[in-house]
Amino acid sequence: MAFLEIKGLVKRFGKLEVLKGIDLDLERGGFLVLVGPSGCGKSTLLSAIAGLDTISGGEILIDGEVVNDLRPSKRDIAMVFQSYALYPNMTVAQNIAFGMEMRGVPKPERDVAVERVAATLQMSHLLSRRPSQLSGGQRQRVAMGRALVRDPRVFLFDEPLSNLDAKLRVDMRTEIKKLHQSTGKTIVYVTHDQIEAMTLATKIAVLKDGALQQVGTPAEVYNRPANLFVADFMGSPSMNLLTAKAVSRNGVAGLELPRAHDAAIFLRLPPNIRAGAVQDGAELIVGIRPEAITDPDGADRNSPLVEIVEALVDVVEPAGSDTYVVTEASGKEVIARMRSDADVRPGQRIPFAFDLNKAVLFDPRTTQRIG
């Protein structure tokens, strides 16, 4: 049985339905990342789990126990807030100890626990400072310390890294991941940053407008997105989503992508699509990630189906470790990821290798994945 279960959760603010029936579960020790654009209801869902907001319908269970009517303090959870929410009038040590103090833990015990957590997070030297005397990264650490010190059943994180600069964000991300691996705690983590979601999660839930779009492992969500929204949202640069037409050439089922200044591209159907799944003449959207379009040398040798297509290079964007090469199809930019030393210039015609084993098809009407 799952450790954290959410069944048919609905949350309304007046007439506005912010969460539209969420079903989710998470095993003990799992790391669930809720990801979605801002305003989609992530914080609301987290507040519902924490008990900070009442819910309009559904059930929340922790370790088999329905907690709907339990106050936040009785749910045995800890939460790290986006703004860190450190008490400004207290020192770091008092901030960390406040929860224990409220629960009546004696002072000597509190002091020992604070010392221990401060050592884990390498901030023993900060204990007597006030939040206003700390840098952003240090405040973040204190907020984590306050959550860690209590050893709760579930940790909730609401965009804990979004106020940090890029470098610190990457460092703290690694640290949170290590922390999860060493403590084995159950974590629900909210972010709008899909890279954070991919790197941290054991399970990702993609949310849009208060409805779940897909729940799965990072690899599932990334490689086999359930619909166009997920395909577009996850990954950076995002997946190429190109309108195509199902056609047969010489008895071979494939996809035709028109081009403005060239003959249409013909690609055979991805191997994971059953032959009967698409009708001849049907409009489709083919999704293919930049890293699945490469120079021929860089293509995956184990892939059962790689198509080589000659195309005109419009733009070249070196990005350090890789070079992004832009061409055109179906009236849109197509981004390919090539090696950084690939000798490519705008205006050249070069061969592009499409790894169709990694391509997915979507129905443009329902926006759902086919097959």
Partner 1 sequence: MSGRVEGSMAGGGSAVSRVVIYGLLLVFAAIFLTPLFVMLITSLKSLDEIRDGNMLSLPQSPTIAPWLSAWGTACIGLTCNGIKGYFGNSIMMVVPAVAISTILGSLNGFVLTKFRFPGHKLIFALMLFACFIPFQAVLIPVARVLGMVGLGNSIGGLILVHVVYGLGFTTLFFRNYYEAFPTELIRAAMIDGAGFFQIFRRILLPASGPIIIVTVIFQFTNIWNDFLFGSSFASGDGVPMTVALNNLVNTSTGVKEYNVDMAAAMIAALPTLLVYVVAGRYFVRGLMAGAVKG
Ligand X SMILES: Nc1ncnc2c1ncn2[C@@H]1O[C@H](COP(=O)(O)OP(=O)(O)O)[C@@H](O)[C@H]1O
Of 344-363, binders to partner 1 (CB under 8 A) are none
Among 87, 283, 343, 348, the residue binding partner 1 under the rule CB under 8 A is: 87
Of 30-89, binders to Mg ion (CB under 5 A) are 43
Side by side, which strands form the sheet with 57-62?
16-26, 4-13, 57-62, 65-66
Among 15, 38, 251, 320, the residue binding ligand X under the rule CB under 6 A is: 38
Which residue's CB is nearer to ligand X, number 41 or number 287? 41
* Cα 10 from chain centre: 22
**Strand 252-257 with 315-318, pairing:** unpaired
Cα–Cα distances in Å, from 96 out to 51, 90, 101, 102, 154? 21, 9, 10, 11, 17
Secondary structure letter of residue 346 according to DSSP: T
Among 6, 32, 35, 40, the residue binding ligand X under the rule CB under 6 A is: 40
Peptide bond into 237 cis (omega under 30): yes
Consecutive H or E run containing 359: none
Nearest to 329 by CA among 359, 357, 299, 298: 359
Among 52, 70, 247, 277, the residue binding partner 1 under the rule CB under 8 A is: 52
Check residue 78 for interaction with partner 1 (CB under 8 A).
Answer: yes
Least CB distance to ligand X at residue 38 (A)? 4
Total number of residues that touch ligand X (CB under 6 A): 10
Which residue's CB is nearer to partner 1, number 77 or number 278? 77
Which does residue 39 bind out of Mg ion, partner 1, ligand X, none, counting CB within 5 to 8 angstroms by kind? ligand X
Q: What angle do CA 236, 79, 86 make, to 5 degrees?
A: 100
Which does residue 122 bind out of Mg ion, ligand X, partner 1, none, counting CB within 5 to 8 angstroms by kind? none
Residues forming the site for ligand X (CB under 6 A): 13, 16, 18, 38-44
Residues forming the site for partner 1 (CB under 8 A): 47, 50, 52, 71-73, 77-79, 81-83, 85, 87-89, 98-99, 102-103, 146
